[in-house]
Amino acid sequence: MIVKLGLLVILVMALEAKAQLKSGFYSTSCPTAESIVRSTVVSYFNKDPTIAPALLRLHFHDCFVQGCDGSILIAGFSAERNALPNLGLRGFEVIDNAKSQIEAICPGVVSCADILALAARDAVDLSDGPSWSVPTGRRDGRISLSSQASNLPSPLEPVSVHRQKFAAKGLDDHDLVTLLGAHTIGQTDCRFFSYRLYNFTTTGNADPTINQAFLAQLKVLCPKNGDGLRRVALDKDSPAKFDVSFFKNVRDGNGILESDQRLWDDSATRRVVQNYGGKFRGLLGFRFDFEFPKAMIKLSNVDVKTGVDGEIRKVCSKFN
């Protein structure tokens, strides 16, 4: 009996070890994989720096549905990427390009899910943000359904709903605020926040939490009955730089999306915003450039497939 229990413990430990991601997973099987991803992201970034937030968002949306398994990359009518919350996603060609280069030298070794996680890290680094060692070893999922994307956080939802959705992925309030700090780069459409400017909660007035000077600027950018597809920076001060400006904006009533601004209304999330955007950042509070990589590593471990689960796709946009 004792021998059987001992074998069982060893088996469980072996399975746990197998299921863990690790940095440098491809160091012997495909040593140039990470540098290929990096050079590919650099080439696209040099032509269009807005690809950085696109890649970061792509990874986030992937991890929130089916876990970080590359399911967002699958093309097809009923696939995940065609769900309503995913229609604005882009950057797929970057991942496809990197994958084709890697397949040419290391066929069937590197997963699309790992390429996406690495590309998201490189995107942040190229935007003057922090860099970090990405644990790799993910395998690609075999399921991608648009019907499963309903749990993605929406900019129209209150903090309480976001809290539940993040908690379901093992992410707490600190992770929630830290990861939303990715909005320090990137843009959104007027249609996603113009209701805050003109007819907030059907009152005919603007959202009272918007700073009045900023409200005037937003009305110029997004006039009433104007082009709802016009793009507006999520961070009005340094939209191309990965920094703490986003948190200062939320603190000062200059958040673009309602869900971002609501972080200031909730006592738990406000504390984290204050830590990042306050005057004593790095001394009394958390440092965003230190905390963001930790939150990203935590996010990129959500429901990953390892070992014999899933597959290593030959082409990222279709199952083998």
Query: Based on the number of CB atoms within 10 Å of its own CB, is 287 exposed (0-12), middle (13-18) or buried (19 or more)?
Result: middle
Residue in 59, 61, 162, 183 annotated catalytic: 61
Under 8 Å between Cβ of 149 and 155: no
Nearest to 196 by CA among 215, 213, 177: 215
Q: Tell me the residue ranges of DSSP E strands in the chain.
A: 187-189, 231-233
Q: What separation, in Å, do the N-terminal and C-terminal C-alpha atoms of the chain show? A: 43
- The Cα–Cα gap between 33 and 175 comes to 29
Q: How many of the other CB atoms lie within 10 Å of CB of 309? A: 15
How far CA 219 is from CA of 87, 124, 161, 190, 261, in Å, comes to 25, 30, 28, 10, 17
Catalytic-residue membership of 59: no
Nearest to 80 by CA among 68, 97, 93: 68
Nearest-CA neighbor of 180 among 166, 160, 161? 166
Active site (catalytic) residues: 61
